[in-house]
A and B are shown apart, each in its own frame.
Chain A
Amino acid sequence: MSRIAGPMLELTSATPFFEDSDLPPVPVNLRLMPGECMVIETRDMTRATMFADLCSGLVPVSSGTVRMAGLDWASLDSRRSNALRGRIGRITRRASWTSLFGVHVELMLRELHHTTRSIEDITSETLRISERFGLPGIPVDTARQLSYSDLARAECVRAFMGSPDLLLLADPLEGGTVDLSTPFLESLTEARDRGAAALWFVRDASVWQACRDTINAQWRLADDGLITVRMR
C-alpha cells in the first residue's frame, strides 16, 4: 500500500454536537500522519469511543472538518463514506459483537463486505492474526460463548484485519487477564511500518510506557476537550 501524502486523520476546529456525542462542544484540532501513533489518555472510555466515532465520521460536527486520508466525511456520500470506514480498524469498549454469527464471520465481515479478496485469502489472514494473538485458530462460536480473554484477542484480530489505514484502538491491554502486549505491539508496529496511523486510547500512561519511544504524541481527552501533554 502506498502511503498517502497528507495526514491520515485531520480534525480542523471540529466541534462535535454535545447532544449527539456527549463530547465537549469545543473545537478539536488534531493531525495524524501516516505511520504515526498518538496516545490519548482518558479516564472515560465511553468518551473515547465517542471520540473514535467522531474520527470515523459517525458524529456530526457543528463546525470545522474531520478528514480521513484527505477526504472530508461531511462531503462524502454514504457509499463512499462506508467504503472509507472499511479502511478503519477499531477496538472499542462498546459492545460490538452481534452474536448473530460465529465470531469468524464477524472477524472477516469487513473484508468480505468491502473488498474482492478471496475467502481463502481472508481466512488465511484471519488465521495468521488469530494465532499471533494467541488463539488456537479462528473462533467459530458466537461472541457470547467466548471467554473475556478470547474476546479481547478477537477484538484485536478484527482491528488488524485487512491492512487498515487508520487504527482507533481502545486499549486492549488494560485490565485483561492475558498479556496481549507482544502481539498487539507487533501488529501495531507492522501496521505503522506499512503506513497506517493509530490513535491509542489508554486510561493511564503505564500501559504504553514500554514503547514510549515510538509514540509520536500524547494527548488527553477531558471535559475541556483534547489537550496535548508534553511527553517526558
Chain B
Amino acid sequence: MASNEIVDPTSTADVSLRRKFLHVAVPIIGVLLILATIGGIGWHTYQATRTGVLKLTHQLLVSVQRYVVQDVTDYLGAATVGGVFARDFISHAPPAVTRNAFYAYGASMLRLVPQIQSYYLGDQNGGFLLVERDPTGKGLEYTELRNSASGNTFHHEFHDEKGAVIRVTDNPAANYDPRTRSWFAGAIKKDGVVWSSPTIYPTTKQLVITASTSLTGSDEVPRVFAVNVSLNLLSQFLDGLKISQTGNAIILDGSGHIIAGHNFSRVVARSGNDPAKMLIDPQTQPVFLRVYDQYRVRGVGSHPFRLDGKNYIGMAQTLPSTDNWVLLIVAPESDFASFARQSGRESLQFSAIIVVLAILLAGLLARQSRRTERVSHEFGRQKAQTDLEAAALQQVAVTPGLMDVTEEALVLTEELTRVTGARRASLWRMLHDGTALICDDNFDAKVEGHSGGFELSRKDMEEFFKLVDAGAIVTIDGAAADPRTVAFERFVMRDAGTRTVTVCPVRGTNQVGTGIVGVITLEDARFAPYLVYFLEIVAAITAVRFSNSTEMTDSQKDAAPDTSAAESLPEPRFDETLMQAPKVGGEIGQGLYPSVAVMVIAFSDPVMEDDQTGSKLLPLIDRIAGEVQDIARRYNLFSVKVAGHRLICMAGCTKDPDPTAIWRLAEAALSLRETCMLVLSTANIEPIFTIGMDFGPAMGGELGGNPKIFNLWGETVTLAELMAQGAPDVGTIEVTERVYQALRSRYLFRSRGSFYAPRSGTGRVYVLATRR
C-alpha cells in the first residue's frame, strides 16, 4: 500500500530539505548579512565622514573667504584709506604748497604701494596734476597742465629713483579739461570714495580702476583727488590663492563684470580689452555662473550645488568699501572629500578580504555540515541494517523446529534474501562422503517460491567443490566466466538468469567429523563486508541443523520408491458409480490407514454442466475415464471414485505405511494432468480442472450391504478436496505441506504461502510443478 499512499508517513524528505537548508542556506545568509552589515557600516562611515568634511570645508572656505576679503580690502585700501588720508593731507596744506604736497604724497605712495598706478588732482579752475610711474623706467613722471597763450600744454618732469630730474618735456594738451572727466565729474559733488568703471590704462595697458574723492583746500577751491589702482595685481593675487586643489575665486563688480580673478588674462583677451565685455563666460566658467546666479537669487553665503554630476561648494560675499563688488569662490567637493572616498575604498577592500574569508568559512561550515549529515545517514543506514539483521535473526529464532531436520527451515533462506537483497538463497548440504551437495532449500525472492532437492556432484564440478572446501566466503561477479563457478552457473543459476554468486561454506560437525558440512549460496546479493557477520551466524545455525541430518539422509534413502513393491499390489478397485463393479482387494484393512495418499480432481461447472453440449461431451468424458483407468492400473492405485464433479483417487490403504503410495499418486497426478490437458485441448475445451493432494492417515472401510461400497474419509480426504477447490489456477496440482515434505526431493514445488484450514490450523500450501 505504501507505494500508493498519498502521504507517506515514514517519509523524511521534508526534514532532509529543511536540514539541507539549514546546512547550506544559513551560512550563505550569514555571509550575506555580514556583507550587508559591512556595506551599511561603510556607507554610514562614508556619509558621516563626508558630512564632517563638508562642514570642515565650509568653515575652511569661510576662512578663506574672510582672508580674501581682507586681502582685497587691503589691496584697495591704498585707494580708499589712502584717498581719505590724501584728502585730509592736501586740503590742509597751504595753497602755495598744495602742488608739492600732492607730488610728495603721490611719489611716496607710488614707491611704496605697487598696485597704485597714478594719482590725479584736478580743481574747479581746470588745474590738473598727475604723478605716475615712468613707463620707460623705474622713476616717476610728474605732469602738470599749464595754460599759456599758445594753448594748454602738459609739462612733464621725469625723475629717477632718487628723485633727481632726468628730463623735462612739454606737449600740447589740446583741449584737455579735467573737469569734464568722469573721475572728476562723478566725485566733485559727493562725499566719500567714488569708483569708476574699470578702464585700460593707456600707458601700461593694464586694467585699472579709479577711486575719486573730493576735497576743498585752504584756498576754498574744490578739488578732486583720484587714484588709479591696477587690477592685474589683484588677479595675480587671486590666481595664486590656494583655495583647494582646483578651487578658484573671481571678483565681479555690481553689474556682473569681472574685475579680477583666475585666468584674468584670458578674460581680457576674450573681451578684446573692452572692460564692458568682461562678463562670465557660460562655456568656460559655468560653475562661476551658477554661483553668481545663486548669489543674485539667494544673496551672499554658501551655495553648494551639483553640476554635470559633480558636487561643488560655492560661496559669494560682497566686498566692503567697494561699489557692490562681490567675491565668488568655487571649489569641487571632491577636493575636500576625496580622502573620505579613498578611505571608504580602502575599507571596502578590507571588507572584501573579510567577506572572502567569511565565504570560505561558510563553505567549510556547509561542507562540514553536509559531511556530518552523510555520516549520520551512514550511521542510520547501518543501524537500519543492524535492525534488519536483528529482526531476521529474531524471525529465525522464533521459528519452531529450526534444528529439526524433519521440519522445514524455510525461514533461513527467506531471511537471507531479505537481509542481503539476493535474488535467490540456497542451503546446500554436503553428503557425508563429501562427493555431493544436495539442496536443502532454495528460495527465489522474485517468485517467492521454495524448491529443493537438487544434487550437485563433485565429479561434475570439481572446481566449485574446491571453492567450498576452501572455507572462505567468496563473492564472484560473472559466475559464468569464472572457472570455479562456471559449472554451478550452468546447473543452478542459468535458469534464474542470475550473474553473481556469493559462496559461504558452512563449517560444522557431522558423522564423518568436523569440516565443511554444507554451503550457503546467494545469487545476485548486494554483498557488503558488514553482511559477513550475518552470514556467519546463519551458517552457524545451518551447521547445527545439518549436524542432525543423518536420519534425514537415511529416511530419504528409505523413501525412494520401490516400484517392485508397487507392482505386487492388487489391481485397483473402481467404484461402481462410474467405472465398474467393485472388486474388494485382499489388502483392505478396516479402520484407520496410517499413510493414505488422496488425490481429488475437481472439474469446473462450465465443462460438465452445459446441457446443450452435455451429449457431445459424453464421449470425451468416457475417454477421460478410460485414461484414468489406465493410469490407475499403471500406478497401482488403490481406488478411483467419482462423486459429482470430483474424481477421487487414493493409494496406500494398507495397515502398514506404504512409502510408494504418495509417489505413485504423484506420478498418476502428473500423468492425469497431462492426459486431461491433451484430451481437452484436442476437443478445443479449456482445461478447467484442478487437482488437490494430501498424504496422511484416514479412516476407511466397506459400508452397506449388497453391494458394499468402500469409502474413505478423514482430514486427509478433506484437505485434498480443499486443495483441489483452492488451487490457484486451472490445471494446477495443489498439495499440502505433508505431500511437499514427502516428495520435495524428487519433484519441483512452488510455495503458495501459508493458509488457515479449518481444524488443521495454519499450514503452507505448494503447487506441484513437475518432476526434477
Cα-based distance from A114 to B9 in the complex (angstroms): 11
In the complex, how many angstroms separate the beta carbon of A5 from the nearest chain B beta carbon?
A: 4
Q: Tell me whether A142 is interfacial, beta carbon within 8 Å.
A: no
Decide: A211 near B761, CB < 8 A? Known: A69-B10, A189-B756, A216-B398: yes
Q: What residues on B are CB-neighbors of A220 within 8 Å?
A: none
- The proximity string for A residues 63-86 relative to B, scoring 1 for CB distances below 8 Å and 0 otherwise, is 000000111000010011111101
Cα-based distance from A216 to B394 in the complex (angstroms): 13
In the complex, how many angstroms separate the beta carbon of A22 from the nearest chain B beta carbon?
A: 28
Pull 10 A–B residue pairs with CB atoms less than 8 Å apart, ordered by A: A3-B418, A6-B387, A6-B391, A83-B7, A115-B4, A116-B5, A116-B6, A211-B761, A211-B762, A214-B761
A186 touching B756, Cβ below 8 Å = yes
A82 touching B7, Cβ below 8 Å = yes
A213 touching B761, Cβ below 8 Å = yes
Nearest residue (CB) in A for B1 is: A163
A188 touching B756, Cβ below 8 Å = yes
Q: Tell me whether A99 is interfacial, beta carbon within 8 Å.
A: no
A193 touching B753, Cβ below 8 Å = yes
A193 touching B754, Cβ below 8 Å = yes
Cα-based distance from A190 to B761 in the complex (angstroms): 13
Cα-based distance from A114 to B6 in the complex (angstroms): 6
Q: Tell me whether B530 is interfacial, beta carbon within 8 Å.
A: no
Please pick, from A34, A69, A86, A189, the residue contacting B754 in the complex, using a CB distance under 8 A: A189
In the complex, how many angstroms separate the beta carbon of B435 from the nearest chain A beta carbon?
A: 38
Ranked nearest first, the 10 interchain pairs of A and B with the lowest CB-CB distance are A83-B7, A84-B9, A5-B387, A115-B4, A185-B756, A5-B388, A80-B9, A83-B9, A189-B756, A163-B1
Cα-based distance from A80 to B9 in the complex (angstroms): 5
In the complex, how many angstroms separate the beta carbon of A12 from the nearest chain B beta carbon?
A: 16
Q: What residues on A are CB-neighbors of B755 within 8 Å?
A: 186, 189-190
Q: Tell me whether A38 is interfacial, beta carbon within 8 Å.
A: no
Give B contacts to A, CB under 8 Å: 1-2, 4-11, 384, 387-388, 390-391, 394-395, 398, 418, 753-756, 758-759, 761-762
Q: What residues on B are CB-neighbors of A231 within 8 Å?
A: none
In the complex, how many angstroms separate the beta carbon of B322 from the nearest chain A beta carbon?
A: 87
Interface range for A? 35 or more
Among A76, A83, A214, chain B packs the most CB atoms within 10 A around the CB of A83
A71 touching B10, Cβ below 8 Å = yes
Give A contacts to B, CB under 8 Å: 1, 3, 5-6, 33-35, 69-71, 76, 79-84, 86-87, 114-117, 162-165, 181-182, 185-186, 188-190, 192-193, 210-211, 213-214, 216
In the complex, how many angstroms separate the beta carbon of A7 from the nearest chain B beta carbon?
A: 9
Please pick, from B4, B390, B398, B762, the residue contacting A116 in the complex, using a CB distance under 8 A: B4
In the complex, how many angstroms separate the beta carbon of A77 from the nearest chain B beta carbon?
A: 10
B756 touching A33, Cβ below 8 Å = no
Cα-based distance from A116 to B384 in the complex (angstroms): 28
B7 touching A5, Cβ below 8 Å = no
B753 touching A86, Cβ below 8 Å = no
Q: What residues on B are CB-neighbors of A163 within 8 Å?
A: 1
Nearest residue (CB) in B for A35 is: B395
Q: What residues on B are CB-neighbors of A188 within 8 Å?
A: 756
Cα-based distance from A113 to B5 in the complex (angstroms): 9
Cα-based distance from A213 to B394 in the complex (angstroms): 18
Cα-based distance from A188 to B753 in the complex (angstroms): 13
Please pick, from A33, A79, A181, A211, the residue contacting B394 in the complex, using a CB distance under 8 A: A33
A80 touching B1, Cβ below 8 Å = no
Cα-based distance from A70 to B12 in the complex (angstroms): 13
Q: Is the interface of B mostly helix, strand, loop or mixed?
A: mixed
Cα-based distance from A35 to B755 in the complex (angstroms): 14
Q: What residues on A are CB-neighbors of B387 within 8 Å?
A: 5-6
B5 touching A86, Cβ below 8 Å = yes
Nearest residue (CB) in A for B8 is: A83
Decide: A33 near B10, CB < 8 A? Known: A185-B756, A213-B762: no
In the complex, how many angstroms separate the beta carbon of B645 from the nearest chain A beta carbon?
A: 21
Q: What residues on B are CB-neighbors of A71 within 8 Å?
A: 9-10
A81 touching B391, Cβ below 8 Å = no
Please pick, from B5, B10, B391, B398, the residue contacting A115 in the complex, using a CB distance under 8 A: B5
Q: What residues on B are CB-neighbors of A117 within 8 Å?
A: 4
Cα-based distance from A5 to B150 in the complex (angstroms): 143
A1 touching B1, Cβ below 8 Å = yes
Nearest residue (CB) in A for B419 is: A5
Cα-based distance from A210 to B11 in the complex (angstroms): 40
Q: What residues on B are CB-neighbors of A1 within 8 Å?
A: 1-2
Give 4 A-B pairs besides A80-B9, A115-B4 with Cβ atoms closer than 8 angstroms.
A6-B391, A114-B5, A193-B754, A214-B762
In the complex, how many angstroms separate the beta carbon of A85 from the nearest chain B beta carbon?
A: 9
B9 touching A81, Cβ below 8 Å = yes
In the complex, how many angstroms separate the beta carbon of B3 from the nearest chain A beta carbon?
A: 9
B7 touching A190, Cβ below 8 Å = no
Q: What residues on B are CB-neighbors of A76 within 8 Å?
A: 9
Q: What residues on B are CB-neighbors of A6 within 8 Å?
A: 387, 391
Cα-based distance from A189 to B5 in the complex (angstroms): 24
Cα-based distance from A91 to B758 in the complex (angstroms): 22
Cα-based distance from A95 to B418 in the complex (angstroms): 41
Cα-based distance from A114 to B5 in the complex (angstroms): 6
A33 touching B9, Cβ below 8 Å = no
Nearest residue (CB) in B for A85 is: B9
B762 touching A83, Cβ below 8 Å = no
Please pick, from B5, B398, B753, B761, the residue contacting A210 in the complex, using a CB distance under 8 A: B761
A83 touching B5, Cβ below 8 Å = yes
A162 touching B391, Cβ below 8 Å = no
A182 touching B756, Cβ below 8 Å = yes
Q: What residues on B are CB-neighbors of A164 within 8 Å?
A: 1
Nearest residue (CB) in A for B764 is: A193
B761 touching A162, Cβ below 8 Å = no
In the complex, how many angstroms separate the beta carbon of A182 from the nearest chain B beta carbon?
A: 6
Nearest residue (CB) in B for A179 is: B758
Q: What residues on B are CB-neighbors of A182 within 8 Å?
A: 756, 758
Nearest residue (CB) in B for A193 is: B754
Decide: A3 near B7, CB < 8 A? Known: A163-B1, A189-B754, A210-B761: no
In the complex, how many angstroms separate the beta carbon of A186 from the nearest chain B beta carbon?
A: 5
Cα-based distance from A69 to B12 in the complex (angstroms): 14
Cα-based distance from A177 to B239 in the complex (angstroms): 123
In the complex, how many angstroms separate the beta carbon of A200 from the nearest chain B beta carbon?
A: 13
In the complex, how many angstroms separate the beta carbon of A216 from the nearest chain B beta carbon?
A: 7
Q: What residues on B are CB-neighbors of A185 within 8 Å?
A: 756, 762
